[in-house]
Amino acid sequence: MTEDTEKILEALCDDPSSARERLLHVAGMMFADRGPDAVSTRELTKAAGANLSAIAYYFGGKDGLYNEAIDYTIAGTQHLIGGAEEKLRADLAAAGNDRDKLSEAAVIFVRAVLTALLGLGPEHWPRRLIMREIDTPTDAFDRLYEAIFQPLIGAFRDIVVAATGRDPDNPETIILTNALLGECLIFHRNRPIILRNLGWTEYTSERIGLVVDIVVDGILDALDLPKKTA
């Protein structure tokens, strides 16, 4: 176990001495980086400082551990974004046809989603695990789609419908909805490419703020919604 891994586990675990918690977070990081098939139980237990039998004892095997990592990812993402989705719907209902208020509602929601996606540090392994499932789906992808992506798509569709007045089932509405979601996902999914293009080694809080500002402005342009002036 490396010193860096130990520090991360101390920060992530409610009880850093818990073999179950340590295994969950070590597995989450390793599964997110390499995929479940490329990680052995021996590697997992060694990295977590746990007994080789601990995975079977706590999770029923590596598949059970992966499913637990997916459940943790779903719960954490819903905690981060679920409130933003609820607020968006309330804000859109209150805005009616007021395009300034529609713009404000969209900005608050998009900022929340982007900030959640671009969390800093290896401890944010659930974001990376989601992206791995997008690129290389396992049997768990359907659960992620239903719990995370369907609500996100629904929220972006609500913004598009409110801003454009289009039918929600119109193909143009669906395409624009997915394009707007893609604008948010790309800065995490294509992280290495974007960082190299910008000459950055990593995102910082200030850089995330810059990304969020530019993406938000682009989404408002796509929806022909007014931007807040200073």
Per-residue pLDDT at 191: 85
Please tell me the distance from the alpha carbon of residue 105 to that of residue 84, in angstroms, as a whole number. Answer: 10
Return the structure tokens found at 146: 């239903």
pLDDT at 229 over 60: no
> What rounded mean pLDDT belongs to the chain?
91
Q: Rounded to an integer, what distance in angstroms lies between the CA atom of residue 174 and that of residue 59?
A: 39
Rounded mean pLDDT, 216-222: 95
Cite the DSSP H helix spans in 13-124. 19-34, 41-48, 54-59, 62-95, 99-117
Residue 183 · residue 215 · CB < 8 Å: yes
Residue for token pair 């551990």: 65
In whole angstroms, what is the distance from residue 190 CA to residue 106 CA?
A: 23
pLDDT in tens, 157-185: 999 999 999 999 999 999 999 999 999 88
Which residues does 205 contact at the CB level (< 8 Å), separation at least 6?
120
Q: Does residue 14 contact residue 35 with C-beta atoms inside 8 Å?
A: no
Alpha helices by DSSP H, listed for 96-230, are 99-117, 125-135, 141-144, 150-164, 171-189, 191-198, 205-223
Residue 10's contacts (CB-CB under 8 Å, 6 or more residues apart) are 16
Query: In angstroms, rounded to a whole number, what is the distance separating the alpha carbons of residues 122 and 143?
Result: 23
Q: What is the pLDDT of residues 57-90, one digit of tens each?
A: 999 999 999 999 999 999 988 888 889 999 999 9
Task: Give me the long-range contacts of 60-67 (CB less than 8 A, separation at least 24).
Answer: 62/36, 63/36, 65/23, 65/24, 65/27, 66/27, 66/31, 66/36, 66/138, 66/140, 67/140
| Of 58, 61, 74, residue with least CA distance to 126 | 74
The stretch 191-199 carries a mean pLDDT of: 91
In this prediction the pTM is: 0.87
Torsion, Cα of 145, 147, 152, 157 (10° steps): 80
pLDDT of residue 29: 93
Q: What is the pLDDT of residue 224?
A: 95
- Tell me if 3-60 shares its fold with 72-223: no
Return the pLDDT at 7: 86
Rounded-to-integer distance, Cα 176 and Cα 45, Å: 45
- Look-up of token digits 């629904």: 154
Reading the block at residue 161, the tokens are 């419908």
What local confidence, expressed as pLDDT, does residue 121 receive? 67
Q: Specify the CATH number of the domain 72-223.
A: 1.10.357.10
The span from the CA of 82 to the CA of 113, in Å, is 10
Stretch 132-144: mean pLDDT: 94
**Hey, where are the domains in the chain?**
3-60, 72-223
Q: Is pLDDT at 230 greater than 50 in this prediction?
A: no
Please give the average per-residue pLDDT across 26-43, as a whole number: 94
Q: Say yes or no to pLDDT of 122 above 70.
A: no
The CATH superfamily assigned to 3-60 is Homeodomain-like (1.10.10.60)
